A and B are shown apart, each in its own frame.
Chain A
Amino acid sequence: MKTKSLISLVIIDDDIDLLELLSSYFRQRGYEVNSYEDARIALSEIESKNVLADVVICDLKLPVMSGLDFIKRIRQFNSVLPVILMTAEGSLELAVESIEAGAYDFVLKPLHVPQLLISVQRAVFLNHVQNENTNLKSLFSDQDFLGLKGVIGKSAGFKKAMELAKRVSGSQANIIIFGESGSGKEVVAKAVHDLGDKKAGPFVAINCSAIPENLLESELFGYAKGAFTGAFGSKIGLFEEANKGTLFLDEIGDLALPLQAKLLRVLQERKIKRIGENQTRDITARVICATHKDLKKEVENGNFREDLYFRLNVIPINMPPLRERKEDILPLSEFFLKKFNLINNVNILGFTKAAMKKLEALTWKGNVRELENAIERAVVLANSEYIDIDDIPGPESSSEESKVSLKNGIPPLFSINNIMSLEDVGKKYIEFIFKKNGYAKEQTAKELCIDRKTLYRKLKELEHGEQPLH
């Protein structure tokens, strides 16, 4: 576990003597104290997350905003923060009213400070238990869309796509999902699978641009023993593997023309032949395709068969890029935070207001995948309980990073003691550009002047050689 920083206490009292006494008393006992004479200022500091309070001690009778009003306002945005009220008026009615308004405890003035300490310690414990409880609950339930585990989003664009996915999940119509790389096309495909009648069957996904053309055919259709040199045994293809389930063909826009013809035939006849075999086999898998490309344009340019386009484009689902559904950024960030908290066994509690603003302001070229990577990195690097603005790589910082790594990173490649092969230098460079572009493949391929297929292959090699890049 990350070491927990100090317990943060907010003390509000217009009596400067008590304010100073309590501040010094609790500081001596290891608390971090923020003190205010005016409850309104304390409220705005807590609300804006400039101050992250674990417990508040507040006087009841304050000149501008009373302790009771303070509690009522706090409860509008924070239902759990314990507030201990202090008062010199010891009526039972007042105590009841305070507790009803949401006060955790009610202590009488003149204060017996050690007694107040006990009340604070109890409140800290309560706060801790409540936070843990809410974290667990929200990870497992409240954000999931349509009951799908780990599928997060509340923007209109996201909901439209997912609701369409739900509606078509029961039908057999062909579905094609459009969206930029990392926007969640596979998530939609999986939702169609999970919500429909194929959910008991397998979900098999393949990225058509990641596999060289000659291998892709045998991957999809399988082959018979001796079908070609090296085919020592027979192999079932993915169409068969996905029987009674779903076959997800990602990056269908990158499929070579001869394979497009074969795919069209399969979709029409719902039968396949393994390579080197004459026997036809029925396929029962539902086929879902996806692409980041504008297929219509690809048809116009002669890169994609028009008949296949019409066959696939029966129900198009469009997943907008993350920058066009900003309302999803914070819920996704919260979800990834919890996920990586669990994976790394740390307990980062959330994001500062400034960090949230930055998350919402960034353009996320690599979409949800880039956001996920950024949160993972922030969880690992954060050195306080809340992820702050500097923990999130920004456009300026990533370009700064590139300058630095170009400046400091290249010389070692050429150092006498560390000579790298040309191939390794190339790989390092690809890795560098890929990271710089926030893991956006399209952009990376463009910048490197290579096609996506080559990029996929190179990235695969990199993943096998080193730690995964995405």
Chain B
Amino acid sequence: MYILSEHKLKYLNRRIIDIEELKNSLSQNDFDLPKIIGHRLKGNGVTFGYPLISEIGIALEMGAIAKDKLKILESIDLLIQVVDEGLKLLH
């Protein structure tokens, strides 16, 4: 496999930062950042071996376009779970 576990680890750790930023932006009613992060996750999740993260990215981007706070919150929760499980598997 061309994706080393060090790449995956770094990738998942960066998602923890994303999660914090997503929470912050929601509290400030900012939908731009969720759209950017969603778009990015849509594009890179599968590549790093996390197809679920790509799905979450799609949901985030759509939620942000629709300004649907609930959908974004659900996506954040799901992302927390996927990142958590992913990190456990790597350790």
Q: How far, in angstroms, from A24 to B14 measured CA to CA in the complex?
A: 17
Known: A17-B11, A17-B14, A21-B7. A113 touches B2 (CB 8 A): yes
Map CB proximity to B onto A85-118 as digits: 1 under 8 Å, 0 otherwise.
0101000000000000000000001111110000
Q: Smallest distance from the beta carbon of B21 to chain A beta carbons, Å?
A: 14
Q: Say yes or no: B45 contacts A110, CB within 8 Å.
A: yes
Q: Say yes or no: B47 contacts A18, CB within 8 Å.
A: yes
Does A31 touch B at the CB level, under 8 Å?
Answer: no
Q: Say yes or no: A18 contacts B44, CB within 8 Å.
A: yes
Q: Say yes or no: A109 contacts B2, CB within 8 Å.
A: no
Q: Say yes or no: A109 contacts B7, CB within 8 Å.
A: no
Chain A neighbourhood of B88, CB < 8 A: none
Does A16 touch B at the CB level, under 8 Å?
Answer: yes
Chain B neighbourhood of A16, CB < 8 A: 14
Chain A neighbourhood of B4, CB < 8 A: 24
Q: Which residue of B lies closest to A114 (CB)?
A: B2
Q: Say yes or no: A20 contacts B10, CB within 8 Å.
A: yes
Q: Say yes or no: B42 contacts A24, CB within 8 Å.
A: no
B interface bracket (residues with beta carbon within 8 Å of A): 10 to 19
Chain B neighbourhood of A309, CB < 8 A: none
Q: Say yes or no: B47 contacts A110, CB within 8 Å.
A: yes
Q: Say yes or no: B47 contacts A21, CB within 8 Å.
A: yes
Q: Say yes or no: A25 contacts B2, CB within 8 Å.
A: yes
Q: How far, in angstroms, from A114 to B7 measured CA to CA in the complex?
A: 16
Chain B neighbourhood of A109, CB < 8 A: 42-44, 47
Does A15 touch B at the CB level, under 8 Å?
Answer: yes
Q: Say yes or no: B2 contacts A88, CB within 8 Å.
A: no
Does A166 touch B at the CB level, under 8 Å?
Answer: no
Q: Which residue of A lies closest to B57 (CB)?
A: A88
Map CB proximity to A onto B52-88 as digits: 1 under 8 Å, 0 otherwise.
0010000000000000000000000000000000000
Map CB proximity to B onto A45-75 as digits: 1 under 8 Å, 0 otherwise.
0000000000000000100000000000000
Q: How far, in angstroms, from A61 to B44 measured CA to CA in the complex?
A: 14
Q: How far, in angstroms, from A111 to B45 measured CA to CA in the complex?
A: 9
Q: Smallest distance from the beta carbon of A289 to chain B beta carbons, Å?
A: 72
Q: Smallest distance from the beta carbon of B13 to chain A beta carbons, Å?
A: 10
Q: How far, in angstroms, from A395 to B46 measured CA to CA in the complex?
A: 58
Q: Which residue of A lies closest to B11 (CB)?
A: A17
Q: Smallest distance from the beta carbon of B85 to chain A beta carbons, Å?
A: 18
Chain B neighbourhood of A114, CB < 8 A: 2
Q: Say yes or no: B42 contacts A88, CB within 8 Å.
A: yes
Chain B neighbourhood of A61, CB < 8 A: 39
Q: Smallest distance from the beta carbon of B1 to chain A beta carbons, Å?
A: 10
Q: Count residues on chain A whose CB falls below 8 Å from chain B CBs.
A: 18
Q: Which residue of B lies closest to A117 (CB)?
A: B2
Chain B neighbourhood of A20, CB < 8 A: 7, 10
Q: How far, in angstroms, from A277 to B40 measured CA to CA in the complex?
A: 96
Q: Smallest distance from the beta carbon of B19 to chain A beta carbons, Å?
A: 15
Q: Which residue of B lies closest to A86 (CB)?
A: B43
Q: Say yes or no: B43 contacts A88, CB within 8 Å.
A: yes
Q: Say yes or no: A88 contacts B39, CB within 8 Å.
A: yes
Chain B neighbourhood of A14, CB < 8 A: 40
Q: Smallest distance from the beta carbon of A24 to chain B beta carbons, Å?
A: 7
Q: Say yes or no: B2 contacts A17, CB within 8 Å.
A: no
Q: Say yes or no: B43 contacts A18, CB within 8 Å.
A: yes
Q: Say yes or no: A110 contacts B44, CB within 8 Å.
A: yes
Q: Which residue of B lies closest to A88 (CB)?
A: B43
Q: Which residue of B lies closest to A14 (CB)?
A: B40
Does B3 touch A at the CB level, under 8 Å?
Answer: yes
B:6-43 near A, CB below 8 Å: 7, 10-11, 14, 39-40, 42-43
Q: Which residue of B lies closest to A108 (CB)?
A: B43
Q: How far, in angstroms, from A15 to B40 measured CA to CA in the complex?
A: 7
Chain A neighbourhood of B11, CB < 8 A: 17, 21
Q: How far, in angstroms, from A18 to B54 measured CA to CA in the complex?
A: 13
Partner of B10, one of A17, A25, A110: A17
Q: Which residue of A lies closest to B53 (CB)?
A: A110
Q: Say yes or no: A15 contacts B2, CB within 8 Å.
A: no
Which A residues lie at the B interface, using CB under 8 A?
Answer: 14-18, 20-21, 24-25, 61, 86, 88, 109-114
Which 3 pairs across A and B sit closest by C-beta, in order of nearness? A110-B46, A109-B43, A88-B43
13 contacts between A and B (CB under 8 A): A14-B40, A15-B43, A18-B47, A20-B10, A21-B11, A21-B47, A25-B2, A61-B39, A88-B39, A109-B44, A110-B46, A110-B51, A114-B2
Which B residues lie at the A interface, using CB under 8 A?
Answer: 2-4, 7, 10-11, 14, 39-40, 42-48, 51, 54
Q: A21-B48, A110-B43 are in contact. List 13 more A-B contacts (CB 8 A).
A: A15-B40, A15-B43, A18-B47, A20-B7, A61-B39, A86-B43, A109-B42, A109-B47, A110-B47, A110-B54, A111-B46, A112-B47, A114-B2
